[in-house]
Amino acid sequence: MQALPGQRKHKKPASRTRQTLHYTLATTITLLVIHGIYQRPKRIAFRNDYCRACVQPRRSVQIRAFDALHVFWIPVLPLGFRKRWFCTACGRQPHVHRGTRRGFKWAGFVVLLVLAALLWAAPLEPDMLITLWILRVGAPIGALLVLIHLTRTPQNPSLKENLAAIPPASDTVCPFCGSALLILSSQGSCPACGILRV
């Protein structure tokens, strides 16, 4: 059925409402994109810290950023604000463990030992004679090397011990903008950029 000119006139207010809705939606999305998802990360605090990546006492800064789930770099699901500490020297998260843990190395040692025992217990296949002999000799040598490495490298002090040795930040001037900090009962804050000394 074809719509008569008269009927179209009746439809007009409805389409205008839809158009208004579209404008509102567009504005909301624009506002979300400008003010929500793409909000700049903000420095909110600093402290004296121990960085496990630098293996040294370092200054770290807490950044608050708006996290969103990305699909091909397009934010699709806002996750909210999150605060994270970063080392000012290397830019990484200071308390994240680096390198292979000692536990994994011990597990590797045990695996090599068991492998060596199995290889020596198994009968030699004539067509794989060379390979099997290489493995028979190689596995215990590998286990021995891991053991030497484990006994020679001292057990690292725990993060707790490292942190205990670090004096708290005693700055009286903001390290980021140079303003004098307002000190109130051991905590300092910058009146200019709002960062906290913790």
Binding site for Zn ion (CB under 5 A): 51, 53-54, 87, 89-90, 174, 176-177, 179, 190, 192-193
User: Nearer Cβ to Zn ion, position 51 or 146?
Assistant: 51
User: Nearer Cβ to Zn ion, position 163 or 193?
Assistant: 193
What is the C-alpha separation between 48 and 30, in angstroms, rounded? Answer: 39
From the CB of 52, what's the least distance to Zn ion, in Å? Answer: 8
From the CB of 94, what's the least distance to Zn ion, in Å? Answer: 6
User: Nearer Cβ to Zn ion, position 65 or 177?
Assistant: 177
DSSP state of 154: P
On the 0-12 / 13-18 / 19+ scale of CB atoms within 10 A, 198 is middle
On the 0-12 / 13-18 / 19+ scale of CB atoms within 10 A, 171 is middle
User: Nearer Cβ to Zn ion, position 142 or 188?
Assistant: 188
Asked if 48 and 59 touch (Cβ cutoff 8 Å), the reply is: yes
From the CB of 92, what's the least distance to Zn ion, in Å? Answer: 6
On the 0-12 / 13-18 / 19+ scale of CB atoms within 10 A, 9 is exposed
User: Nearer Cβ to Zn ion, position 119 or 174?
Assistant: 174
From the CB of 102, what's the least distance to Zn ion, in Å? Answer: 21
From the CB of 117, what's the least distance to Zn ion, in Å? Answer: 43
What is the C-alpha separation between 100 and 164, in angstroms, rounded? Answer: 24
Residue 50 CB neighbour total at 10 angstroms? 22
Neighbouring C-alpha atoms within 13 Å toward the C-beta of 40: 3
